[in-house]
Structure 1
Amino acid sequence: MSRRLILGITGASGVVYGIRALELLRGTGIETHLVLTRSAALTIGYETERRIDEVKALADHVHPLADVGASIASGSFRTAGMLVAPCSMRTLAAIATGNTDNLLTRAADVVLKERRRLVLLVRETPLHLGHLRNMTAVTEMGAIVAPPVPAFYAKPGSLEEMVDHTIGRVLDLFDIDTGTVTRWREDEHR
């Protein structure tokens, strides 16, 4: 497996998921390639105390959204896949319809065509039929739709623990163990 992972952060609420994924991937030997949408930059300002340059500094490589000629836009650039956390409904719709008008959606399209893992942490509620159809479409194309649903069996004591568990489970899909997941019936004897 390639030791590279593409991470997209969109403007949906929940940018903490993408930021935390970058933090947890540091020191794992995984080379991270970050793409932020313009809306992500706004949401980071609304939802966190972080500056954009601080978030970018967490990644090994940052690619401009308009750079559709970047390495991650090519199937010959080998990766383990891509995580979009959070994934807005706009980005989901673009991926579902093959709209590759920016680097984030182009990279997702490449991941799908190369039959690599694409995980979308979709963030919206409630959902209308268009959202559900787009989720079905990307699933049929090979993506994994993984809404950030908390696991209460882990008995989280804080929002941070809930975020860590969710991101740990999502990174499990890439065979990356960050040590943040309370595993059902495995950890109860510790």
Structure 2
Amino acid sequence: MASNDQPTVIKKYANRRLYNTGTSTYVTLEDLANMVKDGEDFVVHDAKSGEDLTHAVLTQIIFEQEGKTGQSMLPISVLRQLISFYGDQMQMVVPSYLEHSMAMFAKEQERIREQMTSMVGKTPMDLVTSGQQMVEEQTRRNMEMFRNAMQMFSPFPATGEDEAAEEKTAQTSPDELKSMREQIAAMQRKLDSLES
């Protein structure tokens, strides 16, 4: 095992074998995928030249995971969009955008998992109520994020009317929340169609 502050070094040999210097054993791409899932940091170096092959090996792991039946996470439309950004002037922005988006997704995923764990042992009615609260809370967060994003494009500062509208939004009924969710979904579909 590597120390906490240093990633484990994996050496890749000409015969494509991978050697984990931390455990002094040969490993497979599946083993490396499990290391990633366990949060263990590693780098892959060519055993002869010392060249850093980490990016290529991680990409190969994704390729293999995508090839497994029932495990595909990257829709064809996303793959096409990624390919279209290569060589484009936006190519420099895409990596930081993806990194930020994945970090936000991971943060939300952990919060949802914690909420689901806290529901264990509750009655079915408690689960329904908790589920509705989670959806309402997420809707409020999405609306706030959308509102903040739209303010970035507004040339005018927020006014007292905006604050009153925000206060009214905080007191919305479940029917109004459902209507807002439908509107957000419709806007997302329009944005998705524009990106295609």
What TM-score do you get using the length of structure 1 for normalisation?
0.26
Task: Select the structure with the greater relative contact order (CA < 8 A; seq sep ≥ 6).
Answer: 1
Q: Which has the higher strand share?
A: 1
Q: Which has the higher helix share?
A: 2
What TM-score do you get using the length of structure 2 for normalisation?
0.25
Larger Rg: 2
